[in-house]
Amino acid sequence: MPDAMAVEITNFLNESDQCQQRPLHVEILNYLPGENVYAATAIRCVAGFPGRHRIETAHLVETSGRMPLTISCIDADEHVNRVPARVKEMAAHLRIVREKLVLEQGNLD
């Protein structure tokens, strides 16, 4: 069976980003099923820096609310092609990456 083709959209944000006074990452994750996106994951990073700013690191006791987050969604192009435009409406400042992928294992069914 040939490998399946897919598209991954990755959004780079931080945990303090909001949309309509709600956490942006939650709003994005709530939006994606409506586009019939197969899978999405929000990942809270342990360290990083947003756009040439100073490095933020997570501490066990306290976090600043500025830690980087990434949200990645993977599906066929027809399901994710509207995602970047809608995410830009939610937060125009985000960095969004779109990559074509080959699924080496699994499928999008």
In order of start, what are the domains of the chain with their CATH numbers? 4-103 (3.30.70.120)
**27-66 as b/e, with b when 16 or more CB fall inside 10 Å?**
bbbebbeebebbebebeebeebebeeeeebeeeeeeeeee
User: Higher confidence at residue 54 or residue 11?
Assistant: 11
Task: Tell me the whole-structure pTM to 2 decimals.
Answer: 0.81
**Does residue 1 have a pLDDT over 50?**
no
Q: How confident is the model at residue 104 (pLDDT cuts 50, 70, 90)?
A: confident
**Does residue 14 have a pLDDT over 70?**
yes
Give the residue among 14, 83, 78 at the shortest CA–CA distance from 49: 14
Q: Give tens-digit pLDDT for 42-99.
A: 998 877 766 666 776 766 545 566 778 899 999 998 888 889 999 999 998 889 999 9
